[in-house]
Structure 1
């Protein structure tokens, strides 16, 4: 009886965690393996024709694929830079200023909205409701209504604004936590030496935060590569595919053109590219941090 109770006690943690592990594997590992398997076939509903690496070879010569990859890099890159700069600026003031410190929860509110609701709000503001156009006309910056989907960069701007508005708080909360978690004795020593707070922040806090900043930006960058909701609701890839991201390209290939094998190949290729870039960036950041 004692042996059984001891075995049961050792096995209890695994029994409790087991269902969650099985669930996570079912929703992550299996779809990934199935996508790799499906990418080797030309799939038209129930008709599966083995093509090997044919889908991947076709992707490498597909102008629409490269255009979607470029759009993702441009829109995501600009959005990520703006989010990092704004989040760090807000963290700088929220960490030091007692007046702003009490309003931190306000900065987090955009992240609490559903992405689809945010996309509809900004679609109403830019396109359907003409809110932004009316505001610009009231300020005398434009003479008439602005058609935000008539220009490549104006259409991209709508996606960037919506993404920056909602997800800057994600970086903000990480940066504030990093500032609060740093060694206060170093800051006090620098202050006693006569260093100002901007100098302390630039020369001490930022270098100490570098690994955390890189990881946070990498996580946000990975999430940006999956930008779909804003594109689907706000632009549909217009004008002329200039706002079609990789996620929307995969959706269009799979659920509009019903080329499921081709869509799976694009998703596998995008996943591999994202993992390689993310791991390279993080490794270099931590390696330079140790040196």
Structure 2
């Protein structure tokens, strides 16, 4: 038999414990909590992006020869603006990048138009993305082998009778540029393709069905309905791809080395040559800062005009 004290102790132990309600957080803590969650990611991005940019701007104000730094002020920028090689590299970047980007956009949009409603092709879209999954250096070596070292393209052209002799792709300005354009188009067209396909599949099917009931053809629906609705996505995707093209380096370094006569030297290769072959790091930093400024201004202008004209 339990005594009275023992019964009271057992009853107290078996009784459910009522926990005290959590103390409410202050208004300041509630405001700071989201920033604390994203803080580490933001700090990491700032370290790997902002710091190198600021360091390049600082270094561009000096004549840097390894550990020897001497103040130059804006002399590097003034010298670059008079440098014919800089303007030639900028022109090569615009020509090669512009042609490559135009071809990528046209091919990606054409393939997306024929694929986005096809249930069979929809299941095999990963095949279209395969080139983009290769390392850029591997793609450059493959196309270097095809054009130059292995003469694969020349043998194919001779077999169909288009040429009679082996083609030296690096002997001509436009042939050398063509090799870079083909390699870039082959690898990065899938990037635009997957964006365009997603944009087309995300559109309302009822609008297309209504247009078809009115007698509109697929091409008419695409040009008059789908394409205008895709305009913001096209502008953003093409702008992102254009920014990436301005940094074309791997293909140039492996396939052409800027030949013939600097006709394929892009801005990235120009900066590399100034910094890591001529060891003029301050000059290379000034060129990279100018390239960053030009890229931002051009991209911002294109996006602003595109969206402004879309609202009018």
Give the TM-score range, shorter chain: over 0.9
Q: 1:285 and 2:285 equivalent?
A: no
**2:108 alignment counterpart:** 87
State the distance in 1 between where 2:202 and 2:120 align: 20
Note the residue ranges of structure 1 that are not aligned, 5 or more in a row: none
Could you say which structure has the higher helix fraction? 1
Report the 3-state secondary structure (helix = DSSP H, G, I; strand = E; otherwise coil) of the residue aligned with 2:96. Answer: helix
Aligned-partner Cα distance in 2 for 1:73–1:6:
52
1:140: how far off?
1.0
1:60 partnered with 2:81: yes
What is the Cα deviation at residue 56 of structure 1?
Answer: 0.7
Alignment partners' CA distance in 1, 2:29 and 2:118:
54
The answer to whether the aligner puts 1:165 opposite 2:186 as a matched pair is yes
- 1:102 aligns to 2:102 (yes or no): no
Q: Aligned to 1:131, which of 149, 152, 162?
A: 152
Choose the corresponding residue for 2:70, options 46, 49, 53.
49
1:3 CA drift (Å) = 5.3
TM-score after normalising by structure 1: 0.96
In structure 2, which of residues 127, 138, 159 is the aligned counterpart of residue 117 of structure 1? 138
1:290 positional shift: 1.0
Secondary structure (helix, strand or coil) at the match of 1:2 reads coil
TM-score of the aligned structures, taking structure 2 as reference length: 0.90
In the TM superposition, 1:137-176 aligns within 5 A as 137-176=158-197
How large is the Cα RMSD of the aligned pairs? 1.6
Structure 1 range deviating more: 220-229 or 139-148: 139-148
Equivalent pairs counted in the alignment come to: 291
| Alpha-carbon shift at residue 92 of structure 1 (Å) | 0.4
Query: Structure 2 stretches of 5 or more lacking a match?
Result: 1-21
Q: Write the distance in 2 (CA, Å) between the matches of 1:84 and 1:249.
A: 27
- 1:260 aligns with 281
Q: Distance in 1 between matches of 2:237 and 2:214?
A: 32
Give the drift of 1:8.
6.8
State which structure, 1 or 2, has the greater radius of gyration over its C-alpha atoms: 2
Q: Distance in 2 between matches of 1:74 and 1:36?
A: 27
Aligned twin of 1:274 = 295
Residues 204-256 of structure 1 show CA distances to partners (whole Å, capped at 9, x for unaligned) of 11111111111110000000000000000000001110000000000000000
Asked if 1:73 is matched to 2:94, the reply is yes
Q: Which moved more, 1:94-103 or 1:162-171?
A: 94-103
Is 1:38–2:59 an aligned residue pair?
yes
